[in-house]
């Protein structure tokens, strides 16, 4: 392993601009003649728009335009869409309600945009927005997803506010297994609604070039080509080839910046109307109201076991709140990204899952780090831990008894796990966490009046999204392959144009490590280009832990083609047969001789083209690959959380966190560990601190960082991270991916630990001090303090 | 519109601002110093931390006019152009204390203030407590804590000039 090759903890190239304040995020971009957009938003969760009076607003100084949903509709701007078709059990398609970028006729959640003010300055636009008078007729609203089906109907297309009633698995076989089971563990689980809150708020800057009839959009997007496609083909803003989307530096995404939102559509439309650039940047309160929220499942789950703790079956019934409109990928999250992981790491013969997705008068809900897999892992790992307690078995032993031990393993829920060693990660985690010493630490803590608990989460997930045909058969409207173009320059440096996007993942470094090692050229000579649809061929972006497994494999395929072409050039240069050329460590050699040519010389010759004719070989050294994965990848591992609860206050301290993950091949362990840290932090946030709370009238009470508890440094421990490795068999690098695993594993580990400490399962997330204290008071402790 | 004059990163600057213009807006829009970021609207996130007369301050909660006659240092002022990086900046890179980079300028400026108030030998608990006003969503803080401890130690060795004045 070289100092900058695969496996090395290379320090990041991209850091220089971030640590010196020279990053270029969307709000940093300034275009000549730029105007600022401020949205007028509904203060009601559900209301008819009777009229909008913009006259006072329009008369204020600096106001360039005030635009409403009526004009958007008459300009024939199309609606936003959900791109993943899900069918109900009865075969009917999901009920996708119209989602115009500015509300027309009716508003369906607090924050729903009804008008936009374009002003010379932000202050002027804000002042004018306050003067827009909207006359609403307030309608009754439905907020609680468990009550959505009996609440007032929000969308004409969806009776009982039901989007779909979906299922997966064999109901009859599962019910039969339950009927015969010696032991059944039952849990009612709420997976709490979260707000992603990337620290950079969403932003869009649109510019129209009247000379070319071209539109340019700078946008905080995780997938600029997808944004371009949706805005061109579905929203109908412009033909695709007349729309350029640039996602510059983006300050975190976590899924929330995948989706196509109303604001960028409105900015584009407005920019063409006013013939000046239009810039919008969300306030944090706007982010709370309008960024797609995450999770929000209500689940009843059951686990059937025999008398010896062998799992026989699992069944779950989930209500998934998708909010007021179906966001871009929303339908897939509680279905194919959730139910397909309900086997966990276990050999479970029968599984059945029903999911009802509903509309409510709340913000749209869509993928947020883990997207369905944290929800699945929480169900499985809580069931298994509680079952162990009920059967008086050690939770590690119960898991080991049920682990899948031979691969490939076909689960009853579509996924076929290709490779893994769940015992290895559990064993390593047990050692690192010093589980043997836990009982002693618990007794010691008890002497000081504290309750210690230990919780496991042996998770698995499916990522490396995704094999396109498989995804399409499950309802995806797009393919999920990835692209890479490798451009070797005449002077031997290399640019890699990747269809992935980096918003913290360090691709400028990790992708360069791969290329530099493969071509034997200095790491400094490799540039990674992403984020601009004018520069980079179509790509699907970054989410679903796919940039390593899919994005880097596309680069490998392109590098294979580069090597093949370069060998041809080298053959001409070295006057040898192409079949005799070998390539190693940056040098082309003629087998069995000492004739050689360095990569840089071969590159130059490819472009100078003096050593061969056009009839013999095309000049140039640039190759493209569109790589479609053959399977999902299956990262898995074991997290062990040790907590200490103060029974007087209910406060939980995490005294130790151990994570042992199997990500297959690791390109840069420093970056991988960083991804795990960040994921665990978000999972701990879900488990202990975070919840998006709406009141009964649909007002978002947690609408600022004062009210919504973001994890801060003092809320979190340092983490002990270990790795095991079983390479993914489905890509040449053996990468499984690591971006979401921490967030997937961690909530279950936290709640398993706290419930172990306090001796009751009656505890919902977030397990705030108040929640834990209340649970303690309500319950009979299993052990005296 | 009132005028305001201050020194920013060692240079005297003047601008016309409204009474309600925030310092962060003055820096970003008038002076085109976009390294200081806005991440929230309730002064929680710390992406906007700068130094005013050597003291860490949230630029989102300070009016530009309040800074009349002061010396402001932003992230852009920590290192000379084409010069070496400040040891705290280096420490963030060395210890992978950033991912998306958006909270990073505020983190670094806050870190320098922790050193100013608590010295160069910072333990984990102190750093975590002192970062109450800075939110990161990417890193989980693990490497930020390591970076700040290392940066603080490196500053004691007198590597590069301090941030203030």
Strand, helix or coil for residue A134: strand
Inter-chain residue contact B138 with A252, CB threshold 8 Å: yes
Mapped onto helix, strand or coil, the DSSP state of residue A419 is coil
CA atoms within 13 A on the CB side of A661: 34
Q: Which residues pair with A667 in a beta bridge?
A: none
Output b/e per residue, A342-379; b: 16+ Cβ within 10 A. bbbbbbbbbbbbbbbbbbbbbbbbbbbbbbbbbbbbbb
Q: Which residues of A touch B48 (CB under 8 A)?
A: none
Q: Say if residues A767 and A703 touch (Cβ distance below 8 Å).
A: no
Using a CB-CB distance cutoff of 8 angstroms, which residues of chain B are in contact with residue A13? none
Mean pLDDT score, A636-654: 97
DSSP A430: H
Among the partner residues B45, B96, B102, nearest to A25 by beta-carbon distance:
B102
Of A353, A321, A327, A323, the C-alpha closest to A340 is A353
pLDDT band at A764 (very low <50, low <70, confident <90, very high): very high
**Cβ-proximal residues to A550 (8 Å cutoff; 6+ apart), any chain:** A464, A465, A480, A481, A482, A627, A629, A731
Q: In this complex, do A505 and B99 lie within 8 Å of one another by their Cβ atoms?
A: yes
Give the separation between CA A54 and CA A115, rounded to whole angstroms: 9
- Per the CB < 8 A criterion, the answer to whether A765 and A192 are in contact is yes
Spatial strand order in the sheet of A450-460: A450-460, A636-646, A652-662, A720-724
Comparing alpha-carbon positions, the chain B residue that sits nearest to A195 is B137
Spell out which residues of chain B touch residue A201, defining contact as CB-CB under 8 Å. Answer: 38-39
Shortest CB distance from B39 goes to which of A16, A200, A742?
Answer: A200
Tell me the residues of chain A between 247 and 286 that have a Cβ less than 8 Å away from chain B: 249-252, 254, 281, 283-285
pLDDT value of position B165: 38
Torsion angle defined by CA atoms of residues A122, A126, A131 and A133, in that order, rounded to the nearest 10 degrees? 110
Q: So what's the pLDDT on residue A572?
A: 97
Alpha helices (H) in A298-421, listed in sequence order: 373-390, 395-402
- Beta carbons of B139 and A674 less than 8 Å apart: yes
The Cα–Cα gap between A172 and A175 comes to 5
Tens of pLDDT along A383-434?
A: 999 999 999 999 999 999 999 999 999 999 999 999 999 999 999 999 999 9
- Tell me whether residues A21 and B35 touch, CB distance under 8 A: yes
Interface membership of A19 toward B (CB under 8 Å): yes
Mean pLDDT throughout A122-127? Answer: 98
Cα angle at A281 between A275 and A282, to 5 degrees? 135
Residues of A in contact with B44 (CB under 8 A): 704-706, 710
**Parallel, antiparallel, or unpaired: how do β-strands A214-219 and A35-41 relate?**
unpaired
User: What pLDDT does residue B81 have?
Assistant: 84
The closest CB to that of A20, out of B32, B40, B75, belongs to B75
* pLDDT score recorded for residue A457: 98
pTM over 0.90: yes
Query: In this complex, which of B41, B47, B101 lies closest to A704 when CB atoms are compared?
Result: B41
Report all structural domains of chain B as residue ranges with CATH numbers, in order of start.
Answer: 3-77 (3.10.20.30), 87-156 (1.10.150.120)
Quote the minimal CA–CA distance from A9 to chain B in Å: 10
SS in 3 state form for A37-105? EEEEECCCCCEEEEEEECHHHHCCCCEEEEEEHHHHHHCCCCCCCCCECCECCCCCECCCCCCCCCCCC
Domains of chain A: 17-140+200-251+257-290 (3.90.1170.50), 159-190+293-404 (3.30.365.10), 418-455+634-785 (3.30.365.10), 481-627 (3.30.365.10)
Q: Do B102 and A670 touch (CB under 8 A)?
A: no
Q: How far apart are the first and last CA of chain A?
A: 52
Residue numbers in A near B78 (CB within 8 A): 20
| pLDDT of A619 above 70 | yes
User: Which DSSP string do the residues of chain B spell out, in sequence order?
Assistant: --EEEEEETTEEEEEE--TT-BHHHIIIIIS--TTS----SSS-S-TTEEEETTEEEEGGGSBGGGGTT-EEE-GGGSS-TTSPPPHHHHHHHHTT--SS-SSHHHHHHHHHHHHHHH-S---HHHHHHHGGG---SSSTTHHHHHHHHHHHHHHHTT-S--S--
Banded model confidence at residue A780, pLDDT cuts 50, 70, 90: low
Q: Is the pLDDT of residue A357 over 50?
A: yes
- pLDDT tens profile B39-76: 999 999 999 999 999 999 999 999 999 999 999 999 99
Report whether A31 contacts A66 (CB < 8 A).
no
Across the interface, whether the CB atoms of B101 and A251 are under 8 A apart is answered yes
Interface test with B, best of A13, A15, A740 (most B CBs within 10 A): A15
Give bridge partners of residue B3 from the DSSP assignment: B16
Rounded to an integer, the average pLDDT of A636-648 is 97
Provide the strand spans (E) within A214-261: 214-219, 243-246
Residues within 8 A of A (CB atoms), B 5-34 only: 18, 20-21, 25, 28, 32-34
A82-108: average pLDDT: 98
Chain B partners within 8 Å of A25 (Cβ): 34, 37, 102
The pLDDT value given to residue B150: 98
* pLDDT at B164 > cutoff 50: no
Q: Calculate how close chain B gets to A105, using CA atoms only, in Å.
A: 31
Q: Would the pLDDT of A334 be above 60?
A: yes
| pLDDT confidence bin for A779, thresholds 50/70/90 | confident
Phi, psi of A539, deg, nearest 5: -145, 165
Share of chain A above pLDDT 90, in %: 99
Distances (CA, A) of B90 to A577, B107, B160: 50, 13, 11
Mean pLDDT along residues A265-282 = 98
Which residues on chain A are in Cβ contact (under 8 Å) with B76?
A: 20-22
CB contact under 8 Å between B137 and A15, yes or no, is: no
Please provide the average confidence, as pLDDT, over all residues in chain A. 97
Closest residue to A19, CB basis, from B45, B93, B142: B93
HSE on the CB side for B160, CA within 13 Å?
18
CB atoms within 10 A of CB A447: 7
What's the farthest any 2 CA atoms get from each other in chain B? 47
Residue whose entry in the numeric block shows the structure tokens 């059967």: A391
Answer yes or no: is pLDDT of A784 > 90: no
Q: What is the pLDDT of residue B163?
A: 47
Interface residue A506 vs chain B (CB under 8 A): yes
Q: Six-digit token pair at A210?
A: 């009247």
Give tens-digit pLDDT for A253-263. Answer: 999 999 999 99
Residue range A546-555: mean pLDDT, rounded: 97
- Long-range CB contacts (within 8 A, 24+) of A467-476: A467/A628, A467/A629, A467/A630, A467/A631, A467/A632, A468/A628, A469/A628, A474/A332, A474/A336, A474/A414, A475/A84, A475/A85, A475/A86, A475/A87, A475/A331, A475/A332, A475/A336, A476/A83, A476/A84, A476/A332
pLDDT of residue A782: 52
Which tens digit of pLDDT belongs to each residue from A25-59? 999 999 999 999 999 999 999 999 999 999 999 99
* Residue B161 pLDDT greater than 70, yes or no: no
Q: Do strands A350-359 and A587-590 pair parallel, antiparallel, or not at all (unpaired)?
A: unpaired
Q: How many beta carbons lie within 10 A of that of residue A67, not counting itself? A: 21
* Residues in chain B closer than 8 A to A509 (CB atoms): none
pLDDT at B82: 87
For residues B162 and A663, which has the higher predicted lDDT (pLDDT)? A663
- B96–A12 CB contact, under 8 Å: yes
Residue B104: both structure tokens together: 């990073």
**H/E element, A673:** helix A669-684
Of residues B161 and A555, the one with the higher pLDDT is A555
Distance CA A737, CA A633 (A): 7
């Amino acid at each position: 392993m070289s100092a900058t090759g695969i496996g090395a903890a290379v320090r990041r190239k991209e850091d220089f601009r971030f640590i010196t304040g020279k990053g270029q995020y969307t709000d940093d971009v300034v275009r000549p003649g730029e105007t600022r957009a401020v949205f007028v938003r509904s203060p009601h969760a559900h209301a008819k728009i009777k009229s909008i009076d913009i006259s006072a607003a329009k008369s204020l100084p600096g106001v360039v335009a005030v635009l409403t949903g009526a004009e958007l509709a008459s300009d024939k701007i199309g609606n936003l869409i959900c791109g993943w078709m899900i069918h109900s059990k009865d075969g009917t398609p999901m009920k996708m309600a119209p989602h115009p970028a500015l509300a027309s006729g009716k508003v369906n959640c607090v924050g729903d945009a009804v008008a936009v003010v374009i002003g010379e300055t932000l202050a002027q636009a804000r002042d004018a927005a306050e003067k827009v008078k909207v006359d609403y007729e307030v309608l009754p609203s439905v907020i609680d997803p468990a009550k959505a089906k009996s609440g007032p109907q929000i969308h004409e297309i969806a009776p009982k506010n039901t989007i779909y009633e979906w299922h997966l698995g064999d109901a009859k076989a599962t019910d039969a297994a339950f009927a015969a089971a010696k032991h059944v563990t039952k849990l009612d689980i709420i997976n709490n609604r979260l707000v992603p809150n990337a620290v950079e708020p969403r932003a869009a800057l649109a510019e129209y070039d009247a000379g070319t009839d071209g539109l340019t959009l700078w946008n905080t997007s995780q997938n600029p080509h997808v944004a371009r496609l949706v805005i061109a083909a579905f929203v109908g803003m412009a033909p695709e080839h007349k729309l350029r989307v640039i996602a510059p530096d983006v300050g975190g995404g976590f899924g929330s910046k995948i989706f196509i939102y109303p604001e960028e559509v409105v900015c584009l439309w407005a920019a063409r109307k006013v013939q000046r650039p239009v810039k919008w940047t969300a306030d944090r309160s706007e982010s709370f109201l309008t960024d797609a929220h995450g999770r929000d499942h209500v689940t009843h789950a059951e686990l059937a076991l025999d008398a010896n703790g062998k799992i026989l079956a699992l069944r779950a019934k989930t209500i998934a709140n998708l909010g007021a409109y179906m966001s871009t990928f929303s339908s897939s999250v509680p279905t194919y990204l959730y139910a397909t992981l309900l086997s966990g790491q276990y050999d479970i013969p029968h599984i059945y899952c029903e999911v009802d997705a509903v509309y409510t008068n709340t913000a749209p809900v869509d993928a947020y780090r883990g997207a369905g897999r944290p929800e699945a892992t929480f169900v499985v790992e809580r069931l298994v831990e509680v079952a162990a307690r009920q059967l008086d078995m050690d939770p590690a032993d119960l898991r080991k008894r049920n682990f899948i031990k031979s691969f490939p393993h076909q689960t009853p829920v579509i996924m076929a796990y290709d490779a893994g060693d769940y015992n290895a990660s559990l064993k390593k985690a047990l050692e690192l966490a010093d589980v043997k010493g836990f009982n002693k630490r618990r007794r010691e803590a008890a002497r000081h009046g504290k309750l210690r608990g230990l919780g496991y989460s042996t998770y698995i997930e499916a990522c490396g999204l995704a094999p396109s045909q498989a995804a399409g058969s499950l309802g995806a409207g797009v393919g999920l392959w990835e692209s890479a173009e490798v451009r070797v320059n005449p002077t031997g440096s290399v640019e890699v144009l990747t269809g992935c996007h980096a918003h913290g993942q360090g691709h400028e470094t990790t992708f360069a490590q791969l290329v530099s090692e493969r071509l034997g050229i200095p790491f400094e000579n490799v540039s990674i280009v992403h984020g601009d649809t004018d520069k980079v061929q179509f790509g699907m972006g970054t989410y679903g832990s796919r940039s390593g497994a899919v994005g880097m494999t596309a680069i490998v395929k392109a590098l294979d083609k580069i090597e093949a072409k370069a060998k041809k050039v080298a053959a001409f240069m070295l006057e040898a047969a192409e079949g005799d050329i070998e390539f190693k460590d940056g040098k082309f050699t003629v087998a069995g001789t000492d004739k050689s040519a360095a990569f840089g010389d071969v590159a130059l010759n490819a472009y100078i083209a003096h050593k061969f004719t056009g009839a013999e070989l095309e000049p140039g050294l640039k190759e493209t690959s569109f790589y479609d994965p053959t399977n999902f990848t299956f990262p898995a591992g074991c997290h062990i959380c040790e907590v200490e609860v103060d029974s007087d206050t209910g406060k939980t301290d995490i005294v130790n966190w151990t994570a042992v993950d199997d990500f297959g091949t690791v390109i840069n362990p420093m970056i991988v560990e960083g991804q795990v840290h960040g994921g665990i932090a978000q999972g701990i946030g879900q488990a202990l601190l975070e919840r998006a709370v709406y009141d009964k009238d649909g007002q978002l009470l947690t609408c600022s960082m004062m009210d919504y508890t973001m994890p801060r440094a003092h809320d979190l421990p340092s983490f002990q991270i270990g790795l095991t490795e079983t390479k993914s068999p489905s890509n040449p690098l053996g990468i499984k991916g690591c971006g979401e695993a921490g967030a997937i594993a961690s909530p279950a580990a936290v709640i398993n630990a706290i419930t172990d400490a306090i001796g009751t399962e009656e505890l919902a997330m977030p397990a705030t001090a108040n929640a834990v204290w209340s649970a303690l008071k309500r319950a009979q402790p299993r052990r005296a303090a | 519109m009132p005028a305001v004059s201050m020194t920013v990163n060692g240079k005297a600057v003047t601008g016309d601002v409204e009474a309600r213009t925030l310092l962060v807006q003055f820096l970003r829009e008038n002076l085109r110093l976009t390294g200081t970021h806005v991440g929230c609207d309730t002064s929680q996130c710390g992406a906007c931390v700068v130094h005013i007369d050597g003291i860490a301050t949230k630029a989102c909660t300070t009016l530009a006019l309040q800074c009349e006659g002061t010396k402001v240092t932003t992230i852009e002022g920590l290192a000379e152009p084409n010069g070496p990086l400040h040891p705290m900046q280096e420490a963030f890179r060395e210890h992978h204390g950033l991912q998306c980079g958006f909270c990073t300028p505020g983190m670094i400026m806050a870190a320098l203030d922790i050193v100013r108030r608590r010295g160069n030998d910072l333990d984990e608990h102190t750093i975590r407590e002192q970062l109450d006003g800075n939110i990161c969503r990417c890193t989980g803080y693990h490497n930020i804590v390591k970076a700040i401890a290392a940066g603080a130690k490196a500053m004691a060795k007198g590597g590069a000039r301090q941030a203030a004045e």
